């Protein structure tokens, strides 16, 4: 019924050999493409660093002015020929020359960072004479002087070889620039999807109109090569209103490389608790789908193991008759194993649909231009993309972002595309063109994404923080921060379809992104020997390896140690989220990482780490530490404050963390401190206000009896993103001081603000709900009226900047909210939680046209007054698209029978 013939799909093969070759295209294509990440941006960084203040401070001891100037001249001369060398990188001698250059530039960067770190430490430590005596300084200078001379000699040799290789000077490529416009990354909305309406109607008609189905489960495979839009088509079907109304339950699981039944089942039931036994998981799944007509999408299935599918299939049979599964895959064999219906073979788009998509991403105003010659050139380019949407979007976005003229388009068509060998992986070759035209800094940023697993969902801000930590972001002035420039880099990559949006929040902002599988494969293809991803296959971690991602399901200290034997120059050690590990081995493993003295980035999430070793101060180059989800960490060693370069410290979901280091104010480079869900944190350390460069502070705790006050937030006017202030009830004794302080008004970059008074742990709330004597009108803590008046004064003083997008008020005991809420013109989400004293809403809510969502939880006096259509307060909020009023927070409703 669903079979569509296509000559384009002939590139597919039902044999597992062909599929494995497609799946491991990185390996298969490595011989075809020898790509070296551009190093001219890195060379420019070395030139700037060699003349830095840190070098100047120590030069008078070493008398190394000649060495310093010589290194600067050599690096400048080498930088001039890098573009030519990269263009000729298919020559083995030149590619080896680039690898040697890359290695020495990394070592030079480490040396310069050592200088600047010592200079920073000297400024930070007050008793310099004691801790860094003249004798120690001389010894340090002698050691570093030898290293500098070694760098100079290696650069001399490389510079001499450039003449032998006949490399010529090339003009430096243009700087990164971003042409702002409507983003072209989204391919999910129906109005943004091209050429798939016929296929959508075909699948939809089968899902909704097949009344002759007698089995409990039907499986429809969608088959096609990468980039054709299999996932997009499945999304389009799932988002259809009629489909959503027909099925009681719609579930989406990205399967990708490993067909793990437990993981698939956990994704279907909506959680991923690694401690759950398989038996418990399957029982929950069966309960969830029992007697329900559901639609399940298994996206990107690779496994051709029929036994695994039969095991999962037995769990899926508990649904009601007519339940459906849509499977997207590149393998005809997978379709044969899993499908109960004939597969839909997805083919390339026709010429006119391809042209329509190309116009949307390649031209201003997203339509065909009047220039007939340019149109003819563009149509020739589109033909070469074989109707593959991903290739069309990528090439079109590239041509738009480069702002090329007609002659450049001709060159692109006649020269660039002529390099593609049709006997090899044509789609990869097309995507590679997009990479080749990236400016140098963006190439480094793109290559870094190869460290994440396929299908990984990443946050934009996190990725930018990593780029900054690695030194990929070059600041050109004192006006914009490195994060601002990183945002520009990210938007460039996004506009070129190298990233795509994955999830959004209540404010409509994208919260997570991912890379298309083929784009991820491309990132693996273009990295050199300095990148290593340890996974299912053995990889070589050698002296030239700088970035390591350790993605082995069973974390073993012995295995890790074998990879770190030659990894003393590592800059990144990254363990992806949600692994299953042994805590005993991990303690030892963390200690073994102390020997990696060049580390800039250390990511160890959810590994059951209990103690951060004191020796962590030896990792003096560290810019980024991610310890999120290590629930057994109770404190951090004071030595961590000696990491003077540290910019990002992530501790979210460390639920047993009780305190932060007392002298955190020493960490003057700190810009991002993430503390979400650190429930045991009872106060903040003094001196926080001295960290004026802080951009991220997700939690600020006001503990009972603590001397810390809101004044610590006064100097932190660079804060961005979200901020939660917890324990505001402790300020009732000084409410008047809060009202006059206005500590939040001067923070225009904050997007989300949560204000929390008396809080109650969820365990207590759950026991209360389950108590048979539970009465909604009864509260374990009854606030006195005077506390309510003080809370009103406190909230009045916590007025944020009008640019805030999300505001949460939790545990407030006053009767009325402040009028300033009506001035928050950008407010998209307002949540009022556990405010039983509240009797009315501000009149100004009528004027908030941007407000899209109002949530009122556990506010007994507002439930009736805000009742839809007839409540006294309804006219103030009737214009808000989504109003949700519940007697309890949604997280607790599941405990009520």
Asked if residues 229 and 273 have their Cβ atoms less than 8 Å apart, the reply is: no
- Residue 390: name the closest of 423, 421, 346 by CA: 346
What three-state secondary structure class fits 227? coil
Task: Express each pLDDT in 742-792 by its tens digit.
Answer: 899 999 999 999 999 975 444 444 444 445 444 444 444 555 688 899 999
The secondary structure of 643-705 as a DSSP string is -TT--EEE-TT-TT-----TTGGG-TT--EEE-TT-TT-----TTGGG-TT--EE-EEE--TT
When pLDDT is cut at 50, 70 and 90, the band that residue 84 belongs to is confident
Cβ neighbours, 10 Å, residue 748: 14
**What share of the chain has pLDDT > 90, as a percent?**
29
**Over the chain, what is the mean pLDDT?**
80
Asked if residues 758 and 788 have their Cβ atoms less than 8 Å apart, the reply is: no
pLDDT at 352 > cutoff 60: yes
Cβ neighbours, 10 Å, residue 319: 25
pLDDT at position 212 is: 58
pLDDT at 703 > cutoff 50: yes
Question: Please, where are the H alpha helices in 125-226?
Answer: 128-131, 134-164, 197-209
Task: Tell the burial category of 556 from Cβ atoms under 10 Å away from its Cβ (0-12, 13-18, 19+).
Answer: middle
Q: Which of 28-37, 68-77, 574-583, 680-689 has the lowest mean pLDDT?
A: 28-37
- Residue 460: name the closest of 829, 42, 751, 113 by CA: 751
pLDDT at position 674 is: 97
Architecture of domain 196-345: 3-Layer(aba) Sandwich (3.40)
Q: Which of 23-37, 661-675, 687-701, 882-896 has the lowest mean pLDDT?
A: 23-37
When pLDDT is cut at 50, 70 and 90, the band that residue 59 belongs to is low
The residue among 272 and 292 whose pLDDT is bigger is 292
Task: Express each pLDDT in 422-443 by its tens digit.
Answer: 545 667 777 787 787 788 889 8
For the beta sheet containing 696-697, the strands, ordered from the edge strand earlier in sequence to the opposite edge, are 531-534, 547-550, 572-575, 601-604, 624-626, 648-650, 672-674, 696-697
Phi/psi region, residue 365 (left: phi>0; alpha: psi -120 to 50; beta: rest), is: left
Task: Express each pLDDT in 497-535 by its tens digit.
Answer: 788 877 777 666 788 898 888 788 888 888 878 898 887
- Residue 44: name the closest of 175, 134, 165 by CA: 175
Task: Express each pLDDT in 851-871 by its tens digit.
Answer: 999 999 999 889 888 888 888
Task: Express each pLDDT in 361-385 by its tens digit.
Answer: 888 777 788 888 888 988 988 888 8
601 pairs with which residues across the strands? Answer: 572, 624
Task: Find how far residue 738's CA is from the centre of its chain.
Answer: 36
The residue among 751 and 168 whose pLDDT is bigger is 751
pLDDT at position 69 is: 75
pLDDT at 256 > cutoff 70: yes
Task: Tell the burial category of 270 from Cβ atoms under 10 Å away from its Cβ (0-12, 13-18, 19+).
Answer: exposed
Task: Express each pLDDT in 431-479 by its tens digit.
Answer: 787 787 788 889 899 999 999 988 888 899 999 999 999 999 977 666 7
Q: Which of 53-57, 480-484, 551-555 has the lowest mean pLDDT?
A: 53-57
Tell me the C-alpha to C-alpha distance, in Å, between residue 284 and each of 240, 746, 897. 28, 49, 17
Q: What is the mean pLDDT of residues 247-271?
A: 85
pLDDT at 401 > cutoff 80: no
Beta strands at 699-701 and 696-697: parallel, antiparallel or unpaired: unpaired
Instruction: Tell me how far apart the alpha carbons of residues 52 and 115 are, in angstroms, rounded to a whole number.
Output: 9
What three-state secondary structure class fits 74? helix
The secondary structure of 562-579 as a DSSP string is HHHTT-TT-SEEEE-SS-
pLDDT at position 206 is: 83
Q: What is the mean pLDDT of residues 99-125?
A: 83
> To which residue do tokens 């009681």 refer?
248
Instruction: Tell me how far apart the alpha carbons of residues 714 and 701 are, in angstroms, rounded to a whole number.
Output: 15
Of 22-26, 323-327, 572-576, highest mean pLDDT: 323-327
Instruction: Tell me how far apart the alpha carbons of residues 117 and 55 are, in angstroms, rounded to a whole number.
Output: 11
Q: Which of 370-379, 545-554, 736-745 has the lowest mean pLDDT?
A: 545-554
Instruction: Tell me how far apart the alpha carbons of residues 882 and 851 are, in angstroms, rounded to a whole number.
Output: 9
Q: Which of 172-176, 613-617, 696-700 has the lowest mean pLDDT?
A: 172-176
Tell me the C-alpha to C-alpha distance, in Å, between residue 795 and each of 137, 725, 814, 841. 53, 12, 9, 14
Q: Which of 213-222, 555-564, 605-614, 630-639 has the lowest mean pLDDT?
A: 555-564
pLDDT at 179 > cutoff 70: no
Phi and psi torsions of 601, nearest 5°: -130, 130
When pLDDT is cut at 50, 70 and 90, the band that residue 175 belongs to is low
pLDDT at position 402 is: 63
Asked if residues 345 and 9 have their Cβ atoms less than 8 Å apart, the reply is: yes
**What share of the chain has pLDDT > 70, as a percent?**
78
Domain ranges across the chain: 8-165, 196-345, 744-753+775-795+802-896
pLDDT at 564 > cutoff 70: yes
pLDDT at position 52 is: 60
When pLDDT is cut at 50, 70 and 90, the band that residue 587 belongs to is low
Task: Express each pLDDT in 805-829 by its tens digit.
Answer: 999 999 999 999 999 999 999 999 9
Encoded tokens for 407: 């002659």
């Amino acid at each position: 019924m669903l079979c569509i013939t296509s000559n384009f799909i002939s590139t597919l093969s039902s044999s597992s050999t062909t599929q494995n070759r497609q799946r491991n295209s990185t390996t298969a294509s490595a011989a075809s493409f020898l790509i070296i990440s551009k190093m001219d941006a890195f060379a420019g960084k070395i030139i700037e660093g060699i003349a830095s203040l840190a070098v100047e401070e120590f030069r008078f001891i070493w008398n190394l002015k000649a060495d310093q100037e010589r290194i600067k001249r050599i690096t400048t001369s080498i930088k001039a020929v890098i573009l030519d060398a990269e263009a000729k990188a298919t020559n083995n001698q030149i590619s080896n020359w680039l690898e040697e250059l890359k290695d020495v530039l990394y070592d030079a960067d480490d040396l310069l960072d050592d200088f600047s770190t010592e200079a920073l430490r000297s400024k930070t430590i007050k008793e310099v004479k004691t801790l860094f005596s003249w004798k120690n300084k001389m010894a340090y200078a002698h050691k570093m002087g030898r290293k500098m001379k070694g760098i100079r000699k290696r650069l001399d040799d490389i510079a001499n070889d450039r003449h032998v290789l006949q490399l010529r000077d090339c003009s430096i490529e243009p700087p990164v620039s971003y042409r702002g416009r409507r983003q072209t990354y989204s391919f999910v909305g129906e109005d943004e999807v091209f050429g798939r309406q016929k296929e959508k109607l075909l699948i939809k008609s089968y899902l909704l109109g097949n009344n002759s189905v007698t089995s409990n489960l039907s499986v429809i495979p969608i088959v096609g090569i990468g980039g054709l839009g299999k996932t997009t088509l499945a999304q389009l079907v799932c988002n259809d209103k009629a489909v959503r109304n027909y099925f009681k339950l719609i579930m989406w699981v990205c399967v990708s490389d490993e067909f793990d039944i437990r993981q698939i089942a956990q994704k279907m039931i909506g959680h991923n608790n690694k401690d759950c036994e398989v038996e418990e998981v399957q029982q929950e799944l069966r309960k969830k789908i029992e007697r329900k007509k559901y639609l399940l999408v298994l996206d990107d299935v690779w496994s051709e193991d029929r036994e695994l599918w039969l095991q999962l299939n037995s769990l899926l049979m508990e649904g009601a008759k007519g339940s459906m599964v849509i499977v997207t895959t590149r393998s005809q064999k997978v379709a044969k194993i899993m499908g109960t219906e004939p597969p839909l073979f997805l083919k390339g788009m026709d010429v006119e649909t391809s042209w329509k998509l190309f116009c949307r991403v390649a031209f201003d105003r997203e339509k065909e231009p009047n220039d007939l010659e340019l149109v003819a050139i563009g149509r020739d380019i589109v033909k070469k993309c074989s109707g593959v949407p991903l290739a069309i979007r990528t090439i079109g976005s590239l041509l738009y972002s480069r702002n090329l003229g007609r002659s450049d388009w001709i060159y692109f068509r006649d020269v660039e595309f002529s390099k593609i060998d049709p006997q090899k992986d044509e789609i990869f070759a097309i995507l590679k063109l997009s990479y080749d035209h990236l400016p140098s800094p963006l190439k480094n940023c793109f290559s870094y994404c190869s460290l994440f697993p396929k299908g990984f969902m990443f946050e934009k801000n996190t990725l930018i923080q990593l780029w900054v930590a690695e030194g990929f972001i070059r600041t050109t002035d004192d006006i914009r921060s490195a994060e601002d420039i990183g945002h520009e880099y990210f938007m460039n990559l996004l506009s070129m379809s190298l990233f795509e949006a994955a999830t959004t929040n209540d404010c409509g902002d994208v919260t997570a992104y991912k890379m298309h599988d083929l784009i991820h494969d491309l990132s693996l293809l273009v990295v050199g020997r300095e990148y290593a991803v340890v996974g299912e296959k053995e990889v070589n971690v050698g002296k030239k390896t700088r970035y390591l991602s350790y993605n082995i399901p069973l974390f073993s200290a012995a295995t890790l140690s074998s990879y770190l034997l030659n990894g003393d120059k590592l800059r990144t050690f990254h363990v992806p989220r949600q692994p299953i590990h042994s805590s005993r081995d991990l303690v030892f493993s963390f200690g073994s990482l102390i020997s990696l003295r060049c580390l800039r980035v250390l990511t160890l999430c959810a590994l059951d780490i209990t103690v951060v070793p004191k020796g962590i101060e030896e990792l003096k180059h560290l810019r980024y530490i991610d310890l999120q989800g290590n629930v057994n960490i109770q404190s951090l060693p004071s030595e961590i404050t000696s990491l003077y370069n540290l910019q990002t410290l992530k501790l979210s979901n460390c639920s047993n963390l009780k305190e932060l280091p007392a002298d955190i104010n020493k960490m003057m480079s700190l810009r991002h401190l993430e503390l979400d869900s650190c429930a045991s944190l009872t106060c903040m350390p003094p001196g926080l206000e001295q960290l004026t460069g802080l951009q991220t502070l997700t939690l600020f705790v006001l503990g009972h009896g603590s001397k810390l006050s809101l004044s610590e937030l006064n100097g932190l006017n660079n804060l961005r993103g979200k901020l939660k202030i917890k324990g505001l009830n402790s300020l009732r004794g000084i409410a008047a001081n809060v009202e006059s302080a206005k500590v939040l008004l001067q923070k225009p970059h904050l997007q989300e603000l949560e204000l929390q008074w008396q809080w109650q742990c969820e365990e207590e709330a759950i026991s209360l709900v389950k108590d048979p004597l539970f009465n909604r009108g009864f509260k374990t803590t009854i606030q006195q009226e005077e506390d309510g008046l003080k809370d009103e004064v406190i909230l009045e003083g916590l007025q944020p900047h009008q640019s805030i997008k999300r505001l949460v008020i939790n545990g407030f005991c006053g009767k009325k909210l402040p009028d300033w809420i009506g001035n928050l013109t950008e407010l998209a989400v307002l949540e009022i939680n556990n405010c039983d004293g509240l009797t009315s809403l501000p009149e100004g809510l009528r004027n908030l046209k941007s407000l899209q969502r109002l949530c009122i939880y556990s506010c007994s006096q507002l439930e009736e007054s805000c009742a839809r259509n007839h409540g006294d307060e309804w006219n103030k909020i009737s214009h808000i698209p989504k109003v949700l009023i519940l007697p309890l927070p949604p997280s607790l409703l599941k405990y009520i029978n």
